[in-house]
Amino acid sequence: MKRLELEPRDLLGLRFAHSPMAEVVASTLALHGPQWMFTRWRGTVTPRVRTGLDTFWSVFDTPTCAIADFLTPVPRTARPTLDDELGRIAATPLDRVAFELTTTGVAFGDPAATLATLVTQIRRYFDLAVAPLWPRLRASAEAEIAGRALTAAAHGPGALLTGLHPNIRWDDDKLHLDYLKPVPHPPWFLDGHPLHLMPTGFTGPAAWIMNSADGRALWYPPRAHGTLWTSPAPPSAPAALAGLLGPTRAAVLTLLAAPSSTGDVAAALRLAPATASHHLTALRDAGLIVADRVGRRLHYRRTDLGDRLATLG
C-alpha cells in the first residue's frame, strides 16, 4: 500500500492534466500486460515497435521494472503536447540522466548521445503506438476532467478524490492506494507541490502514485475507460443537417464530436481515404472544422460553428 498524506489546504492545489508521456509510459506496460482491453491494440502495435527502438526499449523495459523519473515530468499545463514534454526531457541535466538510468538498471554509454537517441525514439514510438488512438485518449480525459469539475462544483473540492478508483481510498487527510500485493511503504507528502490528477487511458484497471523531484501525480483510468478500446457505430447525423450538407458530409461532421484523423473517418464511415479527405477539406474550407497536427498525423475537430451546426435538428 502507498499512502500520500495531505493537509486540508492541499485540496486547493489539486490540478488536472492529460500527459502524452504518461500515455507513452503506461502503454509500454500495457503492451506486455494481460489486460483484455489491450488485446487487439497489442496485436496491431507489437509488430510495428519490435525493430528500430533498441534504446527506447532498454530504458522502458528495465531489469528492475522501474522507469527513470525524468521520463515522466509532471505537466506544467493541463494539456501539454508531446513536443512540450520531449523538450523538457531533452533539457534534463546529464548528471540526472546518468544517475536515474543507472538506478533503474539501464546499461548505457554517453548520456548525451543516449538522451538524444531516446527522444527521437520516443517520438517514433508515439507515432506508431499512441498517435492512432490519441483523439480518443484526449477526448476521454477531457470528459473525465469535465465530470470531476462538475462534481467539485456541486460537492466541494474534496469530492474530486472520491470514487477515482476502486483501490483508492480517501479519508480525512490521507490518500491510500492499495495494490494487489500490498507492500509496506513510508508515506509521501506533497512538500509544497500541487497534486496533479492525471486520467490516463493506458493505465487500464490500474492506478499509480508518481513521486518525483518534479512534483506529485496520480495516474488513474478515466471513467468508462474500457470503451476506449471498442469501435462503436458512428452516430447518426440529424436529418436537417444531412439535408443541408448532404448525408456523407453531415456524417463526417457528426463523427468529429471527437477529434479524428482521415483514416479514422474513412474506417468509421467505410469511405475510401481519398473520399474522406475530400469531405474533410470541404468542411475545413467552410470553417466547420480545423486540423491539429499530432505527431505526423492531422486530426480534425469541429470549430464552434461546426459544433452549433452539428446540433441542427
Distance CA 19, CA 180 (A): 25
Considering the domain architecture, whether residues 219 and 237 belong to the same structural domain is answered as no
What is the structure's pLDDT at 137? 86
Contacts of 141 (CB under 8 A, 6+ apart): 18, 199, 200, 201, 222
User: Which parts of the chain have pLDDT scores under 70?
Assistant: 1-12, 157-158, 170-192, 224, 226-227, 230-235, 294-296, 312-313
> Domain total for the chain?
2
80 burial type by CB count under 10 A (0-12 exposed, 13-18 middle, 19+ buried): buried
pLDDT score for 140? 81
Cα–Cα distance, 4 to 195 (Å, whole number): 10
Chain centroid, CA 271 distance in Å? 28
State the Cα–Cα distance between residues 263 and 93, nearest whole angstrom: 39
Q: What pTM does this model have?
A: 0.72
* Residue 309 near residue 288, CB atoms below 8 Å: yes
Instruction: State the pLDDT at residue 99.
Output: 94
At 34 the pLDDT is: 80
162 and 132 belong to one structural domain: yes
Residue that terminates a domain, selected from 184, 199, 225: 225
Residue 114: predicted pLDDT = 96
Residues 18 and 160 in one domain: yes
Show which of 192, 225, 258 is a domain's final residue. 225
The three-point CA angle 187-193-195 to 5° equals 75
Cβ–Cβ < 8 Å for 160, 151: yes
Question: Where on the phi/psi map is residue 242: left (φ > 0), alpha (ψ -120 to 50), or beta?
Answer: alpha
Kindly report, residue by residue over 111-162, the tens digit of the pLDDT: 999 999 999 999 999 999 998 888 778 878 887 887 777 777 777 766 777 7
β-pair partners for 177:
2, 168
Interhelix angle 134-155/20-32, rounded to 10 degrees, is 110
Domain termination site, one of 225, 257, 287:
225
Per-residue model confidence (pLDDT) at position 18: 93
What CATH number did the domain enclosing 247 receive?
A: 1.10.10.10
Structural domain span for residue 119: 2-225
Task: Report the alpha-carbon distance of residue 195 to residue 219 in Å, rounded.
Answer: 11
* pLDDT for res 302: 87
Partners of 176 in the beta sheet?
Answer: 3, 169
219 and 298 together in one domain:
no
